[in-house]
Amino acid sequence: INTSPAVIKSEPEEDNGFYPSPQHIKTSKREYDDEECEYKPKKVKTEHDKKAKKRKHEYEEDEDESADINSYSDADAIVVSSLRGCVLLLFVVIRWEEERYTDGSKWRFLEHKGPVFAPPYEPLPDKVKFYYDGKPMKLNPPAEEVATFFAKMLDHEYTTKDIFRKNFFKDWRKEMTSEEKSKITDLNKCNFSEMSEYFKAQSEARKQMSKEEKLKIKEENERILQEYGFCIMDNHKERIGNFRIEPPGLFRGRGDHPKMGMLKRRIRPEDIIINCSKDSKQPKPPPGTKWKEVRHDNKVTWLVSWTENIQGSIKYIMLNPSSRIKGEKDWQKYETARRLKKCVDRIRNQYREDWKSKEMRIRQRAVALYFIDKLALRAGNEKEEGETADTVGCCSLRVEHIKLYPKMDDQEYVVEFDFLGKDSIRYYNKIPVEKRVFKNLQLFLENKQPEDDLFDRLNTSILNKHLQELMDGLTAKVFRTYNASITLQQQLKELSCSDDSIPAKVLSYNRANRAVAILCNHQRAPPKTFEKSMQNLQTKIDEKQNQLSAARKQLKAAKADHKASHDDKSKKTVEVKRKAVQRIEEQLMKLQVQATDREENKQIALGTSKLNYLDPRISVAWCKKWGVPIEKIYNKTQREKFAWAIDMAEKDYEF
């Protein structure tokens, strides 16, 4: 039901003026600068184009002569063990893929060993008892297993929550025999504490294991990794992301989830769909079992899938981020964001114009897009009520999520946002908006209840359809990628200083990274030990400071001594003391930098933006430009994921 009128009858605004926000003035200026610095990527492109052309040519010849699909594979049968070393090949392959797989297929050959299943349930020893209403009771294994899931979570807050308990109890009862069912009717009369103690003792014992035992387990894990953790996809041996099937347990949703506590059932081979190529060696199901299905669908990238019982959604086993297929997609994502950079001014002018439209749907679309652009909000798909926690994104914002303040302190037209976003993370922000946006928001709010949609004539599908018309491949999430990456680049430019030491440069990088994380609202729970470790660090700093003043005193004394005696020995002492002071100063500075960095990071998670939003070529170029080793910015896993960028980007790369 649309609460808003479709057409806006009278223009309530007196001004037709154009008020670009400071942010946008800055952006357009920056864009202009950026356009001029494009020569390097172009050069890179030409290089690739040449090879690609050559490759294409060769391929066409193959096709013409024999149409033998194997001829390509033979010519390029190079198993890439290190992606990094073979980037030129990678490019060729990528260019080739683009031209080759116009039909949307993702691979030609795929072979793997299937998933690793969760270990079977081991019943509790008889001495570990469950009590109902004070009396010991032996449960049959299925009911006992589900009981252990609850027992293992006893220390967690959510086992006290009503919904969790209700959902758990309902699902638990399904596993009971009719006898157990009739006896166990009240969760409050259940005593799991002996079971809980048993598991605590078990995990304690695991910690206390000898070195040899631990090594043995490690080796076994490594063996499983080697056997099941890799697959062959089109001549590459690739690492699989998640080759273990999720074990059964109690569902833990995030936030206020209506399904928390439900039983996540055990996945059996009969639930599993295998995807691989026809000509590959198919994975074998465990003895005495069958797969649900084996299919050969090369239009998708997953190797294994099953349907999960909580939401009824499909889960997949896919490749690691270091794989060709993921890296290529990632690269593509940033290229789309870079194309947005080229036309973002036009799009911004467009939505500003649309704020004045006669049609309500267009105004709503334009204001929503403004939020997505300016505040990096997510699109906000509709969700099924009662199936998930009540969270929203831009298009699904409700009246209750914003407050309008015509005046606040010394600012005008302030909008206050307060809502739960993805993962039930709170988004809270107060921002001044342009008058026209403000007036539009007032209009959208007219005659609505708090629980009504703010944008009642808009959804993500309408918005994305519009975006698609503005630029090929443009969707709402591209704005997040674009704004994140451009912010990093601009912040790095602003913060970096050639005189800085490497740690200071890394701090600048982290600060730039942090600006993005704040923009994208990437939060984390403050580490449990945060206060304490902060105190420890402060103590260290204090100690260092004392050390420094002591060292300075000694230096002064040595200088005085030297002035008096003018001998070689005293001169040496002065030098030694000077060096000592210098060393301590450096150490102190390092500590202080560390403290600042950590304090500023208390509730901000940098990882998500680094991994998903920041064009890695910006970081690589920055490292090259300022002589910072890439290892200071990316750990090993990240370097593997971004191998394509590490080899591609030169120091003057511009996003």
Partner DNA sequence: TTCTGCACTTAGTACGCACGGG
Partner DNA sequence: CCCGTGCGTACTAAGTGCAGAA
Q: Which residues are catalytic?
A: 613
For residue 630 the two structure tokens come to 């890439």
* CA 613 – CA 515 distance, rounded (Å): 12
Interhelix angle 141-152/162-174, nearest 10 degrees = 160
Q: Which of 310, 280, 276 is nearest to 291 (CA)?
A: 276
Which is it for strands 273-275 and 293-295: parallel, antiparallel or unpaired?
parallel
| Distance set, CA 347 to CA 29, 100, 470, 527 (Å) | 15, 33, 7, 41
User: Smallest distance from the beta carbon of 268 to DNA, in angstroms?
Assistant: 16
What is 345-405 written as a DSSP string? HHHHHHHHHHTT-SBHHHHHHHHHHHHHHHH---------TTTS-----STT-BGGGEEEE
Q: Which is nearer to DNA, 52 or 476 (CB)?
A: 476
User: Smallest distance from the beta carbon of 598 to DNA, in angstroms?
Assistant: 8
Q: Which of 321, 413, 331, 329 is nearest to 367 (CA)?
A: 413
User: Smallest distance from the beta carbon of 227 to DNA, in angstroms?
Assistant: 14
Q: Which is nearer to DNA, 190 or 240 (CB)?
A: 240
Q: Which is nearer to DNA, 476 or 580 (CB)?
A: 476
User: Smallest distance from the beta carbon of 68 to DNA, in angstroms?
Assistant: 27
Number of Cα atoms under 13 Å in the Cβ half of residue 140: 12
Q: Which is nearer to DNA, 591 or 649 (CB)?
A: 591
Q: Which of 502, 489, 519, 496 is nearest to 615 (CA)?
A: 489
Q: Which is nearer to DNA, 207 or 566 (CB)?
A: 207
Q: Residues, the chain, total?
A: 655
User: Smallest distance from the beta carbon of 320 to DNA, in angstroms?
Assistant: 8
Identify whether the C-beta of residue 424 lies closer than 8 Å to the C-beta of residue 391.
yes
H helix runs in 521-615, sequence order: 530-565, 568-600, 607-612
User: Smallest distance from the beta carbon of 164 to DNA, in angstroms?
Assistant: 13
In this structure, what are the phi and psi dihedrals at residue 170, rounded to the nearest 5 degrees? -60, -50
Q: Which is nearer to DNA, 15 or 157 (CB)?
A: 157
Q: Using CA atoms in the order 348, 349, 352, 353, what is the torsion angle rounded to 10 degrees?
A: -140
User: Smallest distance from the beta carbon of 326 to DNA, in angstroms?
Assistant: 5
For residue 284 the two structure tokens come to 């074998």
Q: What is the 3-state secondary structure (H, E, C) of 257-326?
A: CCCCCCEECCCCHHHCEEECCCCCCCCCCCCCCCCCEEECCCCCCCCEEEECCCCCCEEEECECCCCHHH
Identify whether the C-beta of residue 277 lies closer than 8 Å to the C-beta of residue 298.
yes
Residues 6+ apart with CB under 8 A from 541: 588, 591, 592, 595
Residue at 302: amino acid letter: W
Q: Which is nearer to DNA, 413 or 509 (CB)?
A: 509
Interhelix angle 87-100/39-65, nearest 10 degrees = 60
Interhelix angle 476-495/324-354, nearest 10 degrees = 100
Q: What is the DSSP letter of 241?
A: S
Strand partners, 240: 319
User: Smallest distance from the beta carbon of 173 to DNA, in angstroms?
Assistant: 21
User: Smallest distance from the beta carbon of 509 to DNA, in angstroms?
Assistant: 14
For residue 524 the two structure tokens come to 């984390």
User: Smallest distance from the beta carbon of 414 to DNA, in angstroms?
Assistant: 24
Q: Which is nearer to DNA, 519 or 558 (CB)?
A: 519
User: Smallest distance from the beta carbon of 564 to DNA, in angstroms?
Assistant: 35
* CA 512 – CA 485 distance, rounded (Å): 10
Q: Which is nearer to DNA, 136 or 629 (CB)?
A: 629
Q: Which is nearer to DNA, 269 or 421 (CB)?
A: 421
Q: Which is nearer to DNA, 352 or 522 (CB)?
A: 522
Q: Coil, strand or helix: which one is 145?
A: helix
